[in-house]
Structure 1
């Protein structure tokens, strides 16, 4: 294979029949390098592809690896869709490669010896691994791959724990709509990740996601935590424990709240430690890290209204969280002691309202954050989310219907580069017609949609309609400087719009598709009429599995 500088994976899947969304994982031995999910099959067949840059795993590609691709599926008389998967890798060189990590260590369940998936399942598993760190490590970045499944798939619509019994006929899930992924090193909190609310292709209403899929559904992204300040503790020749935890909030209904030790069933998580090594044999020892990590500020409130008979009719709640973490130390280097640091400032709000005894729910949520590393890296993010959903059921026939409107977005600005390739940043920096002072990338994508779904499970039949529109803008930015704590956040002096795409899908048909690259309209531009009326969909397992709430059994 030689010494490739860039590697991309291409995943192509075909399927036909009746099925629902599934998670897929790709491992090199025990190390997860790609997590994806499926589109929902249709009777006439469907094909989709996704390309992913995995150049950050060059250290693994240089050695023989056992490839494990895990895409679990259920095929029976009801679920007839099978998945035919083709996975290829392309290797090519680049005169300006990113400095990939020298070593990649997995924090996983380590099941490759039995050809199994190495993901931890929380809360069942203790998601921890001991690692031995090379003595000449000079930079260390930890990444977390995690997503909620089953009772935790729609965590962002959960309610405060004190309110889960509000409605006698509608089951609600608790631990609040807040989730935090935590990294502990030898029992010390090293950093956190606030997950993006992924909605898979069968989530809420399937008609929202055909053929446009939810943001990140085909590539579940990972967040980075710079643990370089911990190197003075880690390069002592001993094994050290790395643990991932998933927490929510428990409240007593009177305004008192604490982070929970566990959540419901379940989260799928793995982690990786990326290490860059010094050319010398010098040990990167130094001063122990100084950690400022106060407990997050938690604010919860809720209220219930009743009808004339005293039966609970509505529930409203508000949840807000603020979190600040700072870790700093001195790391010895050939040129002398070097100060290193990692800072995070995060804010979360969720306002929810359930009416009609829990059958209608409106959720407004927003997560924002700033990560700053002394390794010339910073990241800001905003995850706005609005979901308005309702359901009705017929006890006699078992039929049910769901209607929903969604508006959601993901905005991420990255300055510098640590682990993951920053999309097109390096190629655009080298373009002669762009400014030589480009420092980062800016991704902003928004989805708006509405759909309905009517299912007759006994007849294995479901119909509905839906429309979703998405805008995506990718820019390279100039002159942006990340703010420090207590300073006002400000934006870049100038953004260079590199890529824009707008799509509209109605009833499974791509009606509009406009693409522009560096100001030039691409041949992809399309206009197409859509089929009016209802579309047939896969029969789902019930309201609870689609919305995260539903009729009590």
Structure 2
């Protein structure tokens, strides 16, 4: 069975120079990443794409995976969950923005922690191939890339931090001739923080007797601090992995970004007057939620266990010998507005029955400084305007949950880069466990959107690089998934199954000159580049159509349709262990 992520096509030549970077089976691989030496190819290139192909059969959880070049994270992905008959997937990623690393020898680390035992039997058999090629008129990538990571490649280990247990902090010295600087953050919740968007207010975690819900609210903020001062924030997209909520949602179409967990960027060019002094400066990444007092008072706080975090600095340089100078940044950074409320209904016997909660957050942030480079003096700025709302309903000791959430924002730098995003999310799930038989059932509905508009020069490929239309000033991607799914486990018969339907529509546009990410887009500002619609029912893609792939030069990632096995339900391993109220079962 082919298991796919719906995404715009990525172009690469079929006959240019290629290099196989990894052929490896991840079986019992916790703490045992794949490690190998990378040598640049003999051919010339200004573009690099990665082809990651995986097969697996048996029983296994979804797993998080991170690829590094030495200590710098290049790609964060996750796995689909296998079946007894086996699955396969391929994802192609443009990693041309890391040319400063690809052009020099590196240690390649690929960390995919997995386990094999009598219950979890599925290894992940992987092949990773790089294609190197040249295309005209590519934006100049960063000259230097410096990681904020644990820097464990010399021990053949992953360089990610586990926050908050291990602080994500590094002291960096940057070249004094840096003229532009962008910081990117890669962060995703795991364990108690995987479904952070469904967590309860801290004042409500003890609502149900003898059952503790997960707390710190459904709001998360990822903060970047430079020398202890706030430099910008990320309000993350709620990724749902392929074992999340109900597995029937995600086969054979995985969740948005499940194969390619995207990074957010913060322009730190206004800091160059401080950072270009030739001294060390401390960069730290913090994860923040909300702690409330039950009376409407709320403050930002650390969160639970745990977030996987790395960061990096992309630096563009002036000629050697130049020294960038500038003023200390001037901040407009009030504390975020946090508003929370809740209400509890009682059972006839006096116990707590259901509760509702509301969480609202709003943040305005900006900073500016005068920076002087070889191009002269300029005003460097970074600003963010962000908004978050979440309405939650909980019942049945926390096993029934409904969450309606919206995260949105506008970001802009003085370089002309602007980004507008909107992440609506709706999930309802109802978990039932029969005490005598331990039979487990889950019914769920989800509807979510990722809508991102980028104008100007990003530190990352925007997707426009694969289309020979243009030129464009920016891009917009909007994708929506909605569906319903169910799961049933019967431990006494060692039997389980999941079924349902998921529909996804993806649109990708190029933006004409004059478009603005922070303003209303006129219809004629957007040029349709790619569109795809897919519908999966009970493990098979029954409708799959696209448009625009013929506009992509070279070879593309071909849309793959799942094969109908004739089964009405997908087979999954039996869920083993008790259901903890308030914690969504993560099913393999």
Q: Do they superpose with TM above 0.5?
A: yes
Q: Which residue of 2 aligns with 1:456?
A: 490
2:521 match: 491
SS in 2 for 1:248: strand
Which has the larger displacement, 274-283 or 87-96? 274-283
Q: CA deviation at 1:519?
A: 8.9
C-alpha deviations, 1:135-163, integer Å up to 9, x for none? Answer: 10000000000100010000000011000
SS in 1 for 2:326: coil
TM-score (norm 1): 0.93
1:32-47 matched pairs, under 5 angstroms: 32-47=73-88
User: Which of 241, 249, 256 is residue 282 of structure 2 equivalent to?
Assistant: 241
Kindly report which structure 2 residues correspond to 1:32-431, keeping only aligned pairs within 5 A, or say none. Answer: 32-168=73-209, 170-260=211-301, 262-423=302-463, 425-426=464-465, 428=467, 430-431=468-469
Query: Residues 540 and 227 (structure 1 numbering): CA distance in 2 closer, same or farther, change over 3 Å?
Result: farther
Alpha-carbon displacement from aligned partner over 1:369-397 (angstroms, at most 9, x marks no partner): 11101112111000000001001112233
**Aligned equivalents of 2:210 and 2:44: distance in 1?**
61
For 1:19 and 1:326, the matched residues in 2 are separated by 45
Encode CA deviations 1:84-114: one digit per residue, 9 max, x unaligned. 1101100000111121000000100111111
The normalised TM-score by structure 2 is 0.88
Structure 1 221/243 Cα, relative in aligned 2: closer, same or farther at 3 Å? Answer: same
User: Which residue number corresponds to residue 477 of structure 1?
Assistant: 511
Cα 1:374/1:167, change in 2 over 3 Å: same
Indicate the RMSD between aligned Cα atoms, in angstroms.
2.2
Structure 1 residues 413-451: Cα deviation after superposition (integer angstroms, max 9, x where no partner) = 00012210110x2454x53xx6x5x31101000001111
- Is the contact made by 1:453 and 1:465 (CA closer than 8 Å) also made in structure 2? yes
393-402 or 121-130, larger mean C-alpha shift? 393-402
8 Å CA contact 1:250, 1:257 repeated in 2: yes
Give the distance between the partners of 1:526 and 1:161, measured in 2 at CA: 44
Q: What is the rounded CA distance, in whole Å, between the counterparts of 1:217 and 1:545 in structure 2?
A: 25
CA shift in 2, pair 1:527/1:390, >3 Å: closer
- Return closer, same or farther for 1:201/1:322 CA change in 2, 3 Å cut-off: same
Describe the shift of the 1:99–1:356 C-alpha distance in structure 2 as closer, same or farther (beyond 3 A). Answer: same
**Any conservation in 2 of the 1:6–1:55 contact (CA below 8 Å)?**
yes
1:409 CA drift (Å): 0.9
Task: Find the residue that maps to 1:418 and give its secondary structure.
Answer: coil
Cα distance in 2, alignment partners of residues 18 and 526 from structure 1: 23
Secondary structure of the 1:232 match is: helix
Q: How far apart are the structure 2 equivalents of 1:47 and 1:40?
A: 10
Q: Give aligned pairs, total.
A: 539
d(CA) in 2 for partners of 1:442, 1:420: 14
Q: Does structure 2 retain, via aligned residues, the 8 Å contact 1:10–1:51?
A: yes
Which of 122-131 and 326-335 deviates more? 326-335
d(CA) in 2 for partners of 1:418 and 1:193? Answer: 16
1:537 aligned residue = 572
Distance 2:199 2:396 in 1: 17
Distance 2:514 2:448 in 1: 25
Contact preservation (8 Å) 1:512, 1:528: no
Residue 531 of structure 1: how far off its partner (Å): 4.0
Distance in 2 (CA, whole Å) between partners of 1:216 and 1:526 is 18
- CA displacement at 1:543 relative to structure 2: 6.8
Cα distance in 2 for residues equivalent to 1:526 and 1:132 = 49
Greater shift in the superposed pair: 411-420 or 459-468:
459-468
Tell me the equivalent position of 2:540.
Answer: 509
Q: Using a 3 Å threshold, how does the CA distance of structure 1 residues 544 and 479 change in structure 2: closer, same or farther?
A: farther
1:50/1:169 Cα in 2 relative to 1: closer, same or farther (>3 Å)? same
